[in-house]
Structure formats: structure tokens, C-alpha cells
């Protein structure tokens, strides 16, 4: 898939991906800057967000251009402007809710009846359905309270109301 190839080239080298989901008109990523990103920032004297922001911009532009060309259309591909939120200060509860919210997106949008049927997300990586993974599952396991044995069941847990507004 073209989108995943671009993520592998542009986002993966400068971050640890914890969760992702590609939807028809938007996407979600939960990422941590990694050592490569931090080294680049030190060398270039740029704020942390800039390298990731630049790479996400390149991802969006190249993906939109390629898809528009393949279906002979013009214009924006995604419904909203890209937003980034620094969550290092939010705590593990927030990160955990964000992680499950990302995976529940296709279900909540009624694109599938079961989360495990959406093949454009990291859910399949964690559920053991997909062999290839973009995610740093060890880091995710350290940061997020999920049970590897009961991951599928746990993924259907209700997102805490107090966090829902900040995920949109």
C-alpha cells in the first residue's frame, strides 16, 4: 500500500510509531520521537516538532498527489487540516485512551462491524493478524496498559468521556 510505504520512508525513521489508522478522509498516529529525530534536531537546531511536521507534510502531499492522479481527480484528499498534539504531559491514562480511540475509529465510523476487519490500522499488528508491523510494540507495551493475551477484547473498551473532545 502506497500510504504505508510513505510512512515507512518518512515517519518511521524519525519516530517510534505506537498506533496508526488510515481512514477514508483522515488518519491518526500516536508516535514518540526517537533518537534519530533527536539527533537531527540537535544537528539542525530545530524544534522537535519541525522534523516530524515536515515529514508529515511530505507524506500528505505525495500521497494526495499519487491518489488523485490514479483516480483522475484534483483537490484535497483529507477532510481537515492536519493537527498535532504533544501528549507527553498528559499521563498514561490519556495515552491509553488515545491508543484505543485510534483503533476504534473505523468501528465508530461504521466502516466495519468489528475492529479486526479494518486492515488499514495497527490494530492488526497488535492482534497478531498482520505479520508486518510499523509499530514499536515493545515501547507501546511499556507506555500503554494493554494485555497482549486479551488485546482484542480490551480494544472494545469504552473511551473515557473526559478525553473524547481532545481526540477530534
Predicted pLDDT at 160: 79
Predicted pLDDT at 94: 86
Q: What is the mean pLDDT of each run of 10 residues along the chain (168 residues)?
A: 84 90 89 68 54 77 75 70 67 86 95 95 93 89 87 88 71
User: CA 156, CA 165: separation in Å to the nearest integer?
Assistant: 19
Number of H helices, E strands in the chain: 8, 2
Q: Do residues 48 and 31 lie in contact, with contact meaning Cβ atoms separated by under 8 Å?
A: no
Predicted pLDDT at 151: 92
Cα 46 from chain centroid (whole Å): 23
User: CA 21, CA 44: separation in Å to the nearest integer?
Assistant: 30
Phi, psi for 82 (deg, rounded to 5): -70, 135
Predicted pLDDT at 13: 86
Phi-psi region of 18 (alpha: psi -120 to 50; beta: other; left: phi over 0): alpha
Predicted pLDDT at 11: 87
Predicted pLDDT at 36: 63
Predicted pLDDT at 14: 86
Amino acid at each position: 500500500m502506497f500510504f504505508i510505504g510513505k510512512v515507512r520512508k518518512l515517519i518511521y525513521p524519525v519516530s517510534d510509531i505506537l498506533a496508526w489508522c488510515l481512514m477514508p478522509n483522515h488518519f491518526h498516529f500516536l508516535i514518540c520521537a526517537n533518537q534519530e529525530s533527536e539527533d537531527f534536531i540537535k544537528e539542525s537546531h530545530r524544534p522537535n516538532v519541525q522534523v516530524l511536521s515536515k515529514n508529515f507534510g511530505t507524506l500528505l502531499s505525495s500521497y494526495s498527489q499519487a491518489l488523485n492522479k490514479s483516480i483522475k481527480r484534483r483537490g484535497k484528499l483529507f477532510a481537515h487540516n492536519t493537527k498535532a498534539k504533544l501528549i507527553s504531559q498528559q499521563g498514561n491514562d490519556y495515552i491509553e485512551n488515545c491508543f484505543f480511540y485510534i483503533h476504534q475509529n473505523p468501528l465508530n465510523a461504521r466502516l466495519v462491524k468489528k475492529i479486526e476487519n479494518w486492515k488499514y490500522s495497527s490494530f492488526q499488528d497488535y492482534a497478531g493478524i498482520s505479520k508486518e508491523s510499523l509499530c514499536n510494540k515493545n515501547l507501546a507495551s511499556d507506555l500503554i496498559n494493554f494485555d497482549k493475551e486479551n488485546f482484542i477484547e480490551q480494544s472494545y473498551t469504552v473511551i473515557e468521556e473526559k478525553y473524547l473532545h481532545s481526540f477530534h
